[in-house]
């Protein structure tokens, strides 16, 4: 997706060979027009697949997921990473290890909002080592729901997440695929 | 806002006289069409005010804020409640006490994305005791930015937040104002 790649080149900051900071338009400040374009792109790529629900994870997945949900005409669920007073019954949970934070946390989705009848599109901001995506897949499968695919805004293709998801047979659609962050430069696959 | 009030009556769950659960369309599962209507309503109420930026707080404020930002044509910043690897320099911070969680946390905004030139619309999902709104106001004022007003999706008018913000002279626009959650019933102010 050309507009996204241009935005990454213009406003992304390479913090290390592993970490790209996109706080200017996705992870802290959000560009709503770009989010709408991203939602449109996801909706086009997964059109006609019978998707009934989108599942993402707080906080940075919410904006692209809601824009995709608007266009596909389906509700969005964001998995909670943190305890909530009002979210405590009938929870589907999974452990997720955050590479960037070096901590393990538990993500939770209410079983009330996800059933075996659902066909789910997973959306997340980043795909790196696949920990968040795999945790989301696990809770969705606990609900008995099926998975239409995984939509990723920015994939770090040099890390293992994409290969793992491919190996499990999931359809992955990444809007920007980064082959390297070496020498402070963002290089894209293609 | 009629569509929102109807949604609250149909899908909100009164957990106590203080707590309304709206996990079905705002705080966990999100209704993208309703979020678009909410964004439209905020944009109309604050049109022509010279707003340059929207500030909200993760996670439930993001969806309504991004929809309002799309319509007003301005970027959205979500304050971080939790530590982030890529958000650590030049931070504006404020303490916020969560009534529902009974814990104090620190919210943070990057000074890079908010300046004295900004005229800010604050958006949040709930206004109860005003702790989150006041913390957001504090970080915005630390940046030297001015505040156009506060847009709230659901106001619990029987708690003190609204009166505090009124007393400080802020313009508050709440799309649903709840006068009482007594007897398991949601009653609205008119």
- The total domain count for chain B is 1
Please judge whether A76 and B30 are an interchain contact, meaning their C-beta atoms are less than 8 angstroms apart: yes
Residue A119: pLDDT over 90: yes
What is the reported pLDDT for A65? Answer: 98
Chain segment B1-10, per-residue pLDDT in tens: 999 999 999 9
Location of structure tokens 């293709």:
A157
Chain segment B155-171, per-residue pLDDT in tens: 999 999 999 999 999 99
Residue B123 falls inside a structural domain = yes
Residue B49 falls inside a structural domain = yes
Which residues of A fall within a CB distance of 8 Å from B87? 23, 27-28
Residue B1 falls inside a structural domain = no
Phi and psi angles of residue A90, each rounded to the nearest 5 degrees, phi first: 50, 50
Please judge whether A28 and B63 are an interchain contact, meaning their C-beta atoms are less than 8 angstroms apart: no
The full length of chain A comes to 190
Residue B130 falls inside a structural domain = yes
Q: What is d(CA B13, CA A102) in angstroms, rounded to the nearest whole number?
A: 36
What is the reported pLDDT for A188? Answer: 98
What is the reported pLDDT for A173? Answer: 98
CA distance A80 to chain B (A): 8
What is the reported pLDDT for A58? Answer: 96
Residue B166, class by beta-carbon neighbours within 10 Å (0-12 exposed, 13-18 middle, 19+ buried)?
A: exposed
What is the reported pLDDT for A105? Answer: 87
Tokens of B148: 């156009």
* Sheet with B172-180, side-by-side order of all strands: A29-30, B76-79, B53-57, B119-127, B146-156, B172-180, B187-188
Residue A153: pLDDT over 80: yes
Reported as a pLDDT band with limits 50, 70 and 90, residue B100 is low
Residue B99 falls inside a structural domain = yes
Here the CATH number for the domain that contains residue A182 is 3.40.50.2020
Residues of chain A whose C-beta is under 8 A from some C-beta in B?
15, 19, 21, 23-25, 27-33, 35-36, 58-59, 62-63, 66-67, 69-70, 73-78, 80-87, 100-101, 109-110, 112-113
What is the reported pLDDT for B86? Answer: 67
Chain segment B116-132, per-residue pLDDT in tens: 999 999 999 999 999 99
DSSP code at position A98: E
Residue B3 falls inside a structural domain = no
Residue A160's domain spans which residues? Answer: 2-188
Burial A111-132 (b: 16+ CB within 10 A, else e): eebbeeebebbbbbbbbbbbbb
Residue B19 falls inside a structural domain = no
């Amino acid at each position: 997706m050309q507009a996204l790649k241009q935005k990454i080149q213009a406003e992304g900051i390479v913090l290390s060979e592993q970490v790209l900071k996109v706080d200017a338009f996705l992870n802290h400040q959000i560009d709503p027009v770009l989010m709408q374009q991203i939602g449109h792109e996801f909706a086009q790529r997964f059109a006609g697949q019978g998707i009934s629900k989108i599942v993402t994870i707080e906080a940075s997945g919410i904006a692209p997921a809601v824009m995709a949900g608007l266009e596909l005409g389906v509700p969005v669920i964001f998995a909670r990473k943190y305890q909530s007073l009002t979210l405590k019954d009938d929870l589907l949970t999974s452990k997720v290890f955050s590479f960037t934070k070096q901590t393990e946390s538990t993500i939770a989705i209410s079983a009330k909002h996800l059933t075996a009848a659902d066909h789910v599109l997973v959306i997340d901001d980043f795909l790196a080592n696949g920990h968040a995506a795999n945790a989301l897949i696990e809770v969705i499968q606990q609900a008995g729901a099926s998975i239409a695919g995984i939509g990723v805004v920015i994939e770090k293709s040099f890390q293992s997440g994409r290969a793992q998801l491919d190996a499990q047979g999931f359809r992955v659609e990444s809007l920007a695929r980064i082959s390297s962050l070496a020498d402070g430069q963002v290089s894209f696959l293609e």
